Structure 1
């Protein structure tokens, strides 16, 4: 009988974790494209398998249902957003400039068409998910980063004192939630980068001037 090499035996057994992670990543990328383009109801596990070149059994081994797969897609998108914010180049200037730069990048990330599509599914399919929809892990590292930036600006007396978490929440609502909600409802008011940044500049101007008590 011919002896089998260790590598041959390894291939016969369970795939290495790195290979499993790569397969899951490929499935999630394919699912993201399909969910964003066709919606939740219009996407099947079979379509995902075909789109990423995997067998249906392979998809189901990693994600037990379409809901589980969609939740993994949302979690993956959130992690990508966190990684993007972590890679922001250092901002020259004071803590208020750093807060402004962070808020602008948060707006840009959230207004990407793929993320808008995923958010639309999250809210429209809330009954399917049996909850308010997949949510970022708590505590949310993006929110923590924003609260820290607000607190730094407060310490430097560049914005008013107060609950930094509450101020960060209001910034998110005014800067990000309003335009993303409009986009989710089908509005084309923020279709271009120029319109997104014009919204940011207007809102930042009146909001920050209101916070520090200056006249606009």
Structure 2
């Protein structure tokens, strides 16, 4: 009888992994929604616990501080963005068209409201973080995918020779950084899919065809 009681205590002492994973997911989803809507300063660990139906001690056991929780939220958001790009259907057309499709999807992913809100917090609350805010894991799988696409376009001469990594970063800067920065500052210039894609089409044309009116 005593051994049976020991087995019972062992079974109920620690939730199964699936249950733990589900609890962690609820915490991250609740924290994401609160950080995005209320900002970093306006969100407390207690609010996160209440929002997801978990005990405060449960939240603190997983994330010992609000900074640690925010970093976990940013990491989760990056994982979700990566997953979306991985699930993209194979683009038709040549290597340049495939690169264009990848860049456009990357732009749309980065313009999602929750990601914009998290980026705004990362920059506005940089003093709170020890290391310039949370950063994606390295090597960043999104950049790896983009660099590979640039290399494929170079292989067939659709893009000129050069360091594929530098070109990929330049594409990110031109195609993604401007609208995301504007959105972070509260601009409504890119508040619709139509406006986002108009920016993309203009910038892509200039990058691929050049802006000079003269033949060199």
What's the TM-score, normalizing by structure 2? 0.94
Following superposition, the deviation at residue 22 of structure 1 comes to 1.3
> CA separation in 1, counterparts of 2:9 and 2:59?
24
Following superposition, the deviation at residue 19 of structure 1 comes to 1.6
> CA separation in 1, counterparts of 2:54 and 2:133?
27
Range moving further from structure 2, 118-127 or 8-17: 8-17
> CA separation in 2, counterparts of 1:11 and 1:205?
62
Deviations, residues 133-153 of structure 1 (Å, cap 9, x unaligned): 001011101001000000000
What RMSD over aligned residues (CA atoms) do the two structures have, in Å? 1.7
1:32 aligned partner? 32
Deviations, residues 5-57 of structure 1 (Å, cap 9, x unaligned): 95x44542222222211111110000000000000000000000000000000
1:81 aligned partner? 81
Do structure 1's residue 18 and structure 2's residue 18 form an aligned pair? yes
Matches within 5 A, 1:110-125: 110-125=110-125
> CA separation in 2, counterparts of 1:24 and 1:11?
20
Deviations, residues 114-138 of structure 1 (Å, cap 9, x unaligned): 0000000000111101221001011
> CA separation in 2, counterparts of 1:147 and 1:11?
49
1:101 aligned partner? 101
SS at match of 1:57: helix
> CA separation in 2, counterparts of 1:113 and 1:56?
27
Give 5+ residue unaligned stretches, structure 2: none
SS at match of 1:117: helix
Deviations, residues 63-114 of structure 1 (Å, cap 9, x unaligned): 1100000000000000000100000001111000110000000000000010
- Quick one: structure 1 residues 19 and 10, their matched pair in 2 at CA, closer, same or farther if it must change by over 3 Å? farther
Do structure 1's residue 44 and structure 2's residue 44 form an aligned pair? yes
1:178 aligned partner? 178
SS at match of 1:202: helix
What's the TM-score, normalizing by structure 1? 0.94
Aligned residues: 212
Give 5+ residue unaligned stretches, structure 1: none
1:146 aligned partner? 146
Following superposition, the deviation at residue 162 of structure 1 comes to 0.6
4+ long deviations beyond 6 Å: none
> CA separation in 2, counterparts of 1:140 and 1:210?
29
